[in-house]
Amino acid sequence: MEFLVMEEVKQEMLNHAMEGNWEDVVGMYEKYPWAQNARLTRSGETALHIAVFESTEDTVKRLVNLVDAEEEKAQHGESSSAAEAKNPLMIANDRGNTPLHLAALIGNVNMCNYIASKREELVGLRNIAGETPLFLAALRGKKEAFLYLHSKCGPAGTHNHYTRRGDGQTILHVAISGEYFDVAYHIICKYDHLIYCVDENGYTPLHVLASKPAVFKTSLHLAQFSRFIYNCLHVDELTNEPVPISSSMPTFKGKEKPEKHPEKYKTCINFFQPLLKMLQNMIKRPENLPTSRKHMETNKAKMEEDLKQRRGDTAQNQGRETPILLAAKNGITEMVMGILKLSPTAILDRDSANKNIVHLAVENRRTKLYEKLAKKISIYEGAFRAVDNRGNSVLHLAATLGDHRSFPFGTLQMQWEIKWYVY
C-alpha cells in the first residue's frame, strides 16, 4: 500500500512539473521529503533536474533551500529519511548529469551558484562521458557560467580533472570546435597549458582551429555587400576578468539568456575579435627561436637540433597532419603566416605523402595563400623546389585537376585551370 502511495505522489509531482505548476511541486517537495530523491522520468531525472531545465531561478533556489533544510534536520537527528537517503543535489540521471551539470549546460550562473554553494564538491563530479560542469559550460559556449565554475575549481594542480573528458579532449578543444572563440580566449588566459594538450587521436586545439577555414577572413568568399556588412560589424574588446556573483547581476528567467542581436548574427559577433588574440596566444615563440638570418647562422647547432627533433616527430606521427599543414590545406592564410612568423622551421613540416605547405596550397588551389608564400620565395625557395613521394613538384600539382572545383560548369573550370597553371 505504501509503495502505491509513493508512486502516486511521484506521478502527481511529475504532472505538476510538466504542466509548469511549480508552486505545487515546491509544496510537495516540502510535504514529502523522501520525494526530493525520487526519480520521476525514465531517464532518471528528479524534480530538481526538471526544474533546472524548465522552471525559473526562484523555483530552483526554493527547492535547493528545502534540500538544505532537510539535510540540516538530518544532521540534528530530526529527519530519518534524509539521513538514510542520498543528497538530491548529488543525484545523477542516466547520463551521469547532476542538477549542476544541467545548470552549466544551459549557462545559468545564478542556478550554478545556488547549487554549487551548498555542495562545492559537485563542481568536480564527472558524468558518464567524463565531463564536469565546467566542461559542459565550455562545450556549449556559456561564458558566464564557465567563469563562475572556474572560480570554484580546486588548486591548479588538479585542473586536468576539471578540464578533460574521457576521450582526452579538453575544454579548449570543444570550445574551438563549437566556434565559441570568446570562451576559448578566456580558457587560454586561465589554462594556458591546454594549448599543448592532445586528445586520444593526437590532435591539439590548434589542429581543431586549422580545420575551421570559414572563420578566417581570407577563406571567406563574400560578395561586395556582404564584405561591407562584415567590415561594419562591431565587437567589444575582450578582458580577462572573472564574472562576480552579486545581487546586481542580471537574472535570466527560463532556459537561455536573452540575446542583444538576432541569432543569425550571433556567430559573426562572437567570432572575429577573440580569434586573432587566441591565435597569437596559441602560437607562442620559444625563447631560443632565432629572429634573424644572422642569428640563425650563429645558432646553427640549435637549428639542426630543432630540425632533427621535427624529423623525429614526423616519423613518429607518420600520416598525421600538423596544424600548419592542415591550415595550408584549408587555405587559412592568417594561420599559416602566423605560424611561420613565430616558428620558421614549420616550413619543413610534411604530411604522409611528403607534401609541404606550398604543395598543399597549390594542390587545393589556395590562391591567396600561394601569393603570400610566393612573395617570400627567396626565403622558402627549398619548399618551392621540393617534390612529394611521387616525385611531383609544385608545377606538377598545379597541372593536376584533383578534386578541386571552383566553377559549376566544365568550360569555366577549364579556363580557370589554364590561367592557374600559367600563373
Question: Read out DSSP for 302-351?
Answer: HHHHHHHHHHHHHHHTTT---HHHHHHHTT-HHHHHHHHHH-GGGGG---
> Same domain for 154 and 109?
yes
> Same domain for 128 and 240?
yes
- Round to whole Å and give the CA distance between 104 and 343: 38
Residue ending a domain, among 91, 123, 155, is 91
Q: What is the pLDDT of residue 241?
A: 61
Q: How many domains does the chain have?
A: 3
> Same domain for 224 and 151?
yes
Per DSSP, 130 falls in state S
> Same domain for 143 and 219?
yes
- Round to whole Å and give the CA distance between 243 and 223: 39
> Same domain for 71 and 112?
no
Residue 12 scores a pLDDT above 70: yes
Query: Mind listing the pLDDT tens digit for each residue in 58-99?
Result: 999 999 999 988 888 777 666 555 445 688 999 999 999 999
> Residue 316: inside a domain, yes or no?
no
> Residue 238: inside a domain, yes or no?
yes
What DSSP letter does each residue of 37-88 carry, written as one string? G---STT---HHHHHHHHS-HHHHHHHHHHHHHHHHHHHTTS-HHHHHSPPG
> Same domain for 166 and 53?
no
> Same domain for 68 and 176?
no
Q: Are 283 and 322 in contact (CB under 8 A)?
A: no
Q: What is the mean pLDDT of residues 382-392?
A: 87
- 148/1: higher pLDDT: 148
> Residue 96: inside a domain, yes or no?
no
> Residue 85: inside a domain, yes or no?
yes
Instruction: Give me the percent of the chain exceeding a pLDDT of 70.
Output: 66
Residue 237 scores a pLDDT above 90: no
> Residue 309: inside a domain, yes or no?
no
- What's 152-218 look like in SS3? HCCCHHHHHHHHECCCCCEHHHHHHHCCCHHHHHHHHHHCHHHHHCCCCCCCCHHHHHHCCHHHCHH
CA distances (Å), origin 257, targets 49, 110, 144:
19, 12, 10
CB within 8 Å of 353: residues ≥ 6 apart: 388, 389, 390
Residue 147 scores a pLDDT above 70: yes
Q: What is the pLDDT of residue 219?
A: 66
Instruction: Give me the percent of the chain exceeding a pLDDT of 90.
Output: 28
Q: Which three cell numbers stand for residue 222?
A: 563574400
> Same domain for 183 and 77?
no
Proportion of the chain in helix, strand, coil states, percent, rounded to 5: 60, 0, 40
Residue ending a domain, among 91, 111, 127, is 91
Please list the residues that pair with 164 across neighbouring strands: 170
> Residue 297: inside a domain, yes or no?
no
> Same domain for 139 and 270?
yes
- Round to whole Å and give the CA distance between 278 and 228: 25
Residue keyed to cell 542580471: 250
- Round to whole Å and give the CA distance between 110 and 64: 12
> Same domain for 142 and 277?
yes
- Round to whole Å and give the CA distance between 352 and 333: 22
Query: Mind listing the pLDDT tens digit for each residue in 122-144?
Result: 999 999 999 999 999 999 999 99
Q: What is the pLDDT of residue 264?
A: 39
Q: Of 67, 141, 59, which Cα lies nearest the Cα of 104?
A: 141
> Same domain for 156 and 277?
yes
Q: Of 351, 303, 344, 304, which Cα lies nearest the Cα of 323?
A: 351
Q: Of 385, 325, 333, which Cα lies nearest the Cα of 351?
A: 325
CATH code for the domain of 343? 1.25.40.20
What value does the mean pLDDT of the chain take?
Answer: 76
Per DSSP, 409 falls in state S
Query: Mind listing the pLDDT tens digit for each residue in 88-105?
Result: 999 999 999 999 999 999
CA dihedral 240, 244, 248, 250 (to 10 degrees): 70
> Same domain for 74 and 147?
no
Residue ending a domain, among 37, 70, 91, is 91
Rounded to two decimals, what is the model's pTM? 0.74
Q: Of 52, 151, 64, which Cα lies nearest the Cα of 99?
A: 52
CB atoms within 10 A of CB 294: 9
Range of the domain at 21: 1-91
> Residue 162: inside a domain, yes or no?
yes
Q: Are 99 and 52 in contact (CB under 8 A)?
A: yes
